[in-house]
Amino acid sequence: MRTMKAVVFQEKDRIAVADVPMPVPRAGEALIRITATTICGTDVHIVRGEYPVRPGLVLGHEPVGVIHEVGRGLESLYAVGQLVIVGAITPCGQCFYCLNGSHSQCGGAHGGWRFGNTIDGAWAEYLLVPDARANLAPIPHNLSDEDVLLCPDIFSTGLGGAESANIKAGDAVAVFAQGPIGLCATLGAKLRGASLVVGIDAVPERLEMARRFGATVTLNTAEGDPVPRIKRLTEGRGVDVAIEALGRQETFENALRAIRPGGTLSSLGVYSGKLVAPYEPFYAGIGDIKIVTTLCPGGKERMRRLMALVASQRVDLTPLITHRFGLDDIEEAFDLFSHQRDRVMKVALYPGLARDRRRLESVGAGASEAEC
Ligand SMILES: [Zn+2]
Ligand SMILES: [Zn+2]
Please state, in angstroms and rounded to a whole number, the distance separating the CA atoms of residues 372 and 370: 7
pLDDT over threshold 80, residue 356: no
Could you tell me the distance, in angstroms and rounded to a whole number, from the CA of residue 272 to the centre of ligand 2? 26
pLDDT of residue 354: 60
pLDDT of residue 369: 34
pLDDT of residue 272: 83
Q: What is the mean pLDDT of the chain?
A: 94
Q: What residues does the ion ligand 1 have nearby, CB within 5 Å?
A: 40, 42, 153
Confidence of residue 22 (pLDDT cuts 50, 70, 90): very high
Give the residue-averaged pLDDT of 29-49.
96
pLDDT over threshold 80, residue 113: yes
In tens, the pLDDT along 327-349 reads: 999 999 999 999 999 999 999 99
Whole-model pTM: value is: 0.94
CB 211 within 8 A of CB 227: no
In tens, the pLDDT along 57-83 reads: 999 999 999 999 999 999 999 999 999
Least Cα distance to 243 among 303, 187, 288, 286 occurs for: 187
Q: What share of the chain is helix, strand, coil (3-state, %, to 5)?
A: 30, 25, 45
In tens, the pLDDT along 120-158 reads: 999 999 999 999 999 999 999 999 999 999 999 999 999
CA of 104, nearest ligand number: 2
CA of 122, nearest ligand number: 1
Least Cα distance to 157 among 112, 117, 188, 118 occurs for: 188
Return the ∠ at Cα 38 (arms to 350 and 162), rounded to 5°.
Answer: 145
The C-alpha torsion from 191 through 196 and 200 to 206, rounded to 10°, is 50
Could you tell me the distance, in angstroms and rounded to a whole number, from the CA of residue 95 to the centre of ligand 2? 4
CB 124 within 8 A of CB 64: no
Give the residue-averaged pLDDT of 41-52.
94
pLDDT over threshold 90, residue 367: no
Could you tell me the distance, in angstroms and rounded to a whole number, from the CA of residue 188 to the centre of ligand 2? 26
Please state, in angstroms and rounded to a whole number, the distance separating the CA atoms of residues 222 and 224: 6
Please state, in angstroms and rounded to a whole number, the distance separating the CA atoms of residues 178 and 201: 6
Give the whole-number percent of the chain exceeding pLDDT 70.
95
Of the candidate ranges 52-56, 87-91, 96-100, 276-280, the one whose mean pLDDT is the lowest = 276-280
Could you tell me the distance, in angstroms and rounded to a whole number, from the CA of residue 235 to the centre of ligand 1? 36
CA of 157, nearest ligand number: 1
Give the residue-averaged pLDDT of 178-183.
98
Could you tell me the distance, in angstroms and rounded to a whole number, from the CA of residue 99 to the centre of ligand 2? 7
In tens, the pLDDT along 252-307 reads: 999 999 999 999 999 999 888 899 999 999 999 999 999 999 999 999 999 999 99
Could you tell me the distance, in angstroms and rounded to a whole number, from the CA of residue 90 to the centre of ligand 2? 8
Could you tell me the distance, in angstroms and rounded to a whole number, from the CA of residue 284 to the centre of ligand 1? 34
Task: DSSP letter for 215, please.
Answer: -
Could you tell me the distance, in angstroms and rounded to a whole number, from the CA of residue 289 to the centre of ligand 1? 28
pLDDT over threshold 80, residue 173: yes
In tens, the pLDDT along 219-253 reads: 999 999 999 999 999 999 999 999 999 999 999 99
pLDDT over threshold 80, residue 359: no
Count of other CB atoms within 10 angstroms of residue 41: 20
